[in-house]
Amino acid sequence: MPHGNRLLIADAHLDLAWNALDWNRDLRLPVAAIRQREKEQGMTDKGRGLGTVSFHELRRGRVGLFIATLLARLIRPNLMPAIQRYESMEAAQAAAYGQMAYYRSLERQGHLRWIKDWPALEAHVARWTTAPDAELEREPLGFILSMEGADPVLSPDEVEEWWQAGLRIIGPAHYGVSPYAHGTGTEGGLFPEGPALLRAMERVGMILDVTHLSDQCFDEALDLYGGPVLASHHNCRALVPDQRQLTDGQIKRLIQRGAVIGAAFDAWMLHPGWVRGKTRPDEAGVTLERVVDHIDRVCQLAGNARHAAIGTDLDGGFGTEQSPYDLDTIADLQRLPELLRRRGYTQEAVEGILHRNWVRFFERAWKASGGRQPPDSSAQSGG
């Protein structure tokens, strides 16, 4: 049983290196100190002085496992200049390797544990679910490395190199288009090199993240790619209509593939008609209950609670001004167990949503020969 009545939480999407390098945030500091520094420096850009994530807050919330990203995007017209910043794939690749070096440095210092296979994940989860609180204060936070948008991959031939470097997940597109696929806000399918990228990923065992793929790319990717699939930070289009969200049909298809879907905490994905920079979470009534609504819909479509999980995307270019208003920092994820229990979820289901579903997913993905994921029988069973 968890110590201190706090469950281990796994978060499937945190842009930690991007925050550290591009936003120049020292994530070793408490969130309050990071906010204060940005306010003292007169920073007024969106999200500044309003951050929610640091190592201190991850520990306080027992978020001891997460998928951390490499995010280095090519410049695209009319799309989020703070993220789309590189003129060439070579520059994007250099930036991504720089972000990787950041994670490596924090690993050497003992802040992080880079998880690359099932034995390491199994041991890490065992430690975080059995060790006393006092020992967990010094235990490294565990991360699995993902790439959001495949712009840094100069050609499919490099996938093996990225695997050897420690990358385990690739989402081929982000906002706009990547060299391989159409992404959020665009219509179209895979570009000529897209199928080759997917084949190379499957060959080495690289997991496919369908987050941000256009609808056509979603279908094409699942048709072509036979390996393990996840949706790291996605909500339900039936509740908040937008192409960024998953349709019920897409969710059912992911369930059939044994995927897990992480609920995102970005308020515009939780409130229909959200206007960035104008709508306020408190005025719109965006609370953690809205997140539970999306988790619950995935569970209802699955007929069980084994395919829903968490992928907050907190501090993914926004702060508390665009997060549930009853969340101050990521440590407040510990409020989710009670909210789920109020909806009738059992303790087993709650633990699954908070971390065990992700753990089971990676166990299947990494233990399957050649990286191929065996059929998932849970879609046919209750619980």
CB 284 within 8 A of CB 334: no
Rounded to 10°, the helix 288-302/248-256 angle is 60
pLDDT at residue 6, as a whole number: 82
* pLDDT score recorded for residue 77: 76
Question: 128: domain CATH number?
Answer: 3.20.20.140
- What does the pLDDT read at residue 286? 98
Q: What is the rounded distance in angstroms from the CA atom of residue 96 to the CA atom of residue 70?
A: 6
Return the closest-CA partner of residue 166 out of 111, 109, 100.
100
Res. 277 pLDDT band, cuts 50 70 90: confident
d(CA 151, CA 75): 10
Q: How many CB atoms are located within 10 Å of the residue 255 CB?
A: 22
Residue 80: is its pLDDT beyond 70? no
CA 177 to chain centre: 19
The average pLDDT across 270-278 equals 93
Q: How far apart are CA 195 and CA 69, in angstroms?
A: 22
Q: Quote the longest CA-to-CA distance of the chain.
A: 55
pLDDT of residue 82: 63
Domain that holds residue 167: 3-380
* Residue 167: both structure tokens together: 């990358």
Where is pLDDT greater, at 4 or 378? 4
pLDDT tens sequence across 162-188: 999 999 999 999 999 999 999 999 999
Find, among 225, 207, 164, the residue nearest to 368 by Cα: 207
pLDDT for 85: 84
Confidence of residue 370 (pLDDT cuts 50, 70, 90): very low
pLDDT digits (tens, 9 = 90+) for 189-243: 999 999 999 999 999 999 999 999 999 999 999 999 999 999 999 999 999 999 9
* Structural domains of the chain, count: 1
Among 72, 35, 71, smallest CA distance to 56 is for 35
Distance, in Å, from the CA atom of 92 to the CA atom of 71, rounded to the nearest integer, reads: 9
Read off the amino acid at residue 101.
A
The model's pTM: 0.94
| Position 137 pLDDT exceeds 50 | yes
Give Cβ neighbours of residue 300 (< 8 Å, ≥ 6 apart). Answer: none
Q: Is the pLDDT of residue 346 over 60?
A: yes
How many residues appear in the chain? 383
| Cβ atoms < 10 Å from Cβ of 127 | 17
The answer to whether the CB of 148 falls within 8 A of the CB of 262 is no
Contact 186/218 with Cβ under 8 angstroms? Answer: no
Average pLDDT over residues 266-285: 95
pLDDT of residue 81: 59
Tokens of 339: 């909210």
Percent of the chain clearing pLDDT 90 (strictly above): 90
Q: How far apart are CA 380 and CA 197, in angstroms?
A: 32
Residue 62, pLDDT > 90, answer yes
Q: How far apart are CA 88 and CA 179, in angstroms?
A: 11
Q: What is the pLDDT of residues 350-363, one digit of tens each?
A: 999 999 999 999 99
